[in-house]
Structure 1
Amino acid sequence: MRVTVGLIAALIIASVVPATAAEGPVEPGELRRAFFKTVFGLEYGGGHQDAERVKRYSGQVRFAVEDRSGVGRRATAVAFLRSLPSRIAHLDAVVVDRTQDASFRVILVREADFSDVVAHELNADAIAMNARCLVGVSTLSGRIERSTAVIVADDDFLFARCLVEEVLQGLGPMNDDVSLTMSVFNDRSRLAHFTRFDEALMNVLYHPMIRPGMSRHEASLALPWVMHDLGYLH
């Protein structure tokens, strides 16, 4: 079944908390809980068949950045996307020049144009959804086929936060939870960087033993082996 899902970052706090060395070690129990809270379920569209399956890309992710904002942030977005394979061990990802070659489009826009672009590209009503940034994801039996993120580039906080959150959500963790204090998968958090905790979560999701389409039960059986292999369990 092919599912198209819109995911919102409803950002209500307008200040950035920068990355710091104060981030503590990843606690295994919290990482396990976060995996089930974000990977299963959908922030929107929870009735879809793939909601209760593992959702992720199974092959190479081909990013393309389209800068329609005119504020010169394409290079920053490209640098972030190119850094992902070095932080997510089993993620195969490249940045391509041509949009038609992409499986994941990242569209940078001005805030004033956001609603119109969302309506055209994602067939969604950003105003009705109270969206500040948005990613649409198309899946087939848990395998992500395409993602399109629309990100505001002329607001410092929205750009920093949404670049991280919407790109990571477009790779698979499509749910949010207010209990995840060290994660961008929490619309009440003030975080605007790729945290150590979210890096651990993405490494778990993209481990070869976690397969697209897995049920909660199947994932729960694999998770101890995966976390041990990644060094989160000793």
Structure 2
Amino acid sequence: MTQTAPPWQPVAAAVLAAVLLLSACATPPVPPPPVPPAPTVAAPPPPESAASASIRAYYAEVQQALLSQGLLRTDGAAVDAPFTDRNLTDNFIRIALYEEYSRGQISTTRSQTPIRLLRWDKPIRVSVQFGASIPPEKQAADRARVASYLARLASLTNLSITLTNQNPNVWVHVGSVDERAALGPSLNAELSELTPGQVAAVTQMNRDTYCQVLTQSDPATNTYTAAVAVIPSEHPDLLRLSCIHEELAQALGLPNDSNAARPSIFNDDEEFALLTPQDELMLRILYNPALRPGMTEAEARPIIQTLASRLTGGET
């Protein structure tokens, strides 16, 4: 006997087939996006000590007093301070071939000691180290100013001078009075020949010493091998930038100051805050191939005179 399928069976079969087809074509559910890691929040700087606050206030007064006297000028090409080739020669000799203290000594009595010409003969790699008390935005601003200045120095000297933390041979420490007091181990690691007196001169730096640079050289070649500059973070912006300019230029081989040098940052009168055109010419002379490391004043003077005359157009 033939059985007839109920009329609803074809419809049910069609619906089931459609459901199966849709199931086969359906897109699997999209997993939720991964939760991003929580942003790293920098630890806030430690609270400022009373000693640091006192020095910060003192340096603010110093900068304001200097500015009110027309000092800390940033117009390096001052029309009121012309210089001749003779001025440039004499100033270079006094600044590059003399120093205030006998090498290796820390003294409170200044004396002008003749030295041989010193300069770098290898790439310079500068690392800037900031104390934890310095906010990140201030660190970034100072690092950018150092980088810009290093590019200028490299152009003047034809040296390779880079800002890097990879195998540095020049360190710039920017920190509070409390952080500078703890720099002893770092200084000894960076400049292996420092005496205890030299370390103490930095870690116990008098507030009237605005900043310092220490260098190390090879006596066999009269070339620098390392240098450390130390700058108080309590300085207001212009004083701090002035320290960057002077200490890094001194570390290149212009270690002395001269009250006769004008316009120049190598003058204790603080008239000019930033590297001047005459300072630039002194750096060009220092790294001219006609001069050699180890030269005395007598050996170098005729060459310096020729270079100074050429650079200034021969005005005497």
TM-score range with shorter-chain normalisation? 0.7 to 0.9
The answer for the alignment partner of 1:151 in structure 2 is 231
Q: What amino acid maps onto 1:210 in structure 2?
A: L
Shift of 1:42: 1.6
Q: Secondary structure at the match of 1:102?
A: coil
The answer for the alignment partner of 1:77 in structure 2 is 146
Q: Secondary structure at the match of 2:148?
A: helix
The answer for the alignment partner of 2:257 in structure 1 is 176
The answer for the alignment partner of 1:93 in structure 2 is 160
Higher helix share: 2
Q: Does 1:188 align with 2:269?
A: yes
The answer for the alignment partner of 1:63 in structure 2 is 126
Shift of 1:84: 1.6
Shift of 1:41: 1.9
Higher mean C-alpha displacement, 205-214 vs 106-115: 106-115
Q: Secondary structure at the match of 2:98?
A: coil
For structure 1, list consecutive stretches of 5 or more residues without a partner in the other structure.
1-10
The answer for the alignment partner of 2:97 in structure 1 is 40
Shift of 1:107: 1.9
Instruction: Please list the CA deviations of residues 28-47 of structure 1 after superposition, one character each: whole Å capped at 9, or x if unmatched.
Output: 11101111111112223358
The answer for the alignment partner of 2:216 in structure 1 is 138
Shift of 1:228: 4.4
Shift of 1:192: 1.0
Contact 1:118 1:125 (8 Å CA) reproduced: no
Q: Does 1:27 align with 2:84?
A: yes
- CA separation of 1:139/1:151 partners in 2, compared to 1, >3 Å: closer, same or farther? same
Q: Percent identity?
A: 24
Higher strand share: 1
Name the TM-score, length of structure 1 as normaliser.
0.81
The answer for the alignment partner of 1:6 in structure 2 is none
Contact 2:76 2:277 (8 Å CA) reproduced: no
Instruction: Please list the CA deviations of residues 122-153 of structure 1 after superposition, one character each: whole Å capped at 9, or x if unmatched.
Output: 62324466532111101123211111111224
Shift of 1:157: 3.4
Q: Secondary structure at the match of 1:63?
A: strand
The answer for the alignment partner of 1:219 in structure 2 is 300
For structure 2, list consecutive stretches of 5 or more residues without a partner in the other structure.
1-58, 67-71, 106-112, 189-198
- CA separation of 1:194/1:98 partners in 2, compared to 1, >3 Å: closer, same or farther? same
Q: What amino acid maps onto 1:197 in structure 2?
A: Q
CA RMSD in angstroms, aligned pairs only: 2.8
Shift of 1:167: 0.4
Contact 1:55 1:213 (8 Å CA) reproduced: yes
- CA separation of 1:13/1:213 partners in 2, compared to 1, >3 Å: closer, same or farther? farther
Contact 1:178 1:186 (8 Å CA) reproduced: yes
Shift of 1:106: 1.7
Partners of 1:83 and 1:74 lie apart in 2 by 14
Aligned residues: 220
Equivalent residue in structure 2 for 1:107, among 173, 184, 191: 173
Name the TM-score, length of structure 2 as normaliser.
0.61
The answer for the alignment partner of 1:199 in structure 2 is 280
Partners of 1:40 and 1:20 lie apart in 2 by 23
Equivalent residue in structure 1 for 2:200, among 86, 103, 124: 124
Contact 1:183 1:191 (8 Å CA) reproduced: yes
Partners of 1:95 and 1:119 lie apart in 2 by 25
Contact 1:61 1:92 (8 Å CA) reproduced: yes
- CA separation of 1:209/1:21 partners in 2, compared to 1, >3 Å: closer, same or farther? closer
Partners of 1:44 and 1:166 lie apart in 2 by 16
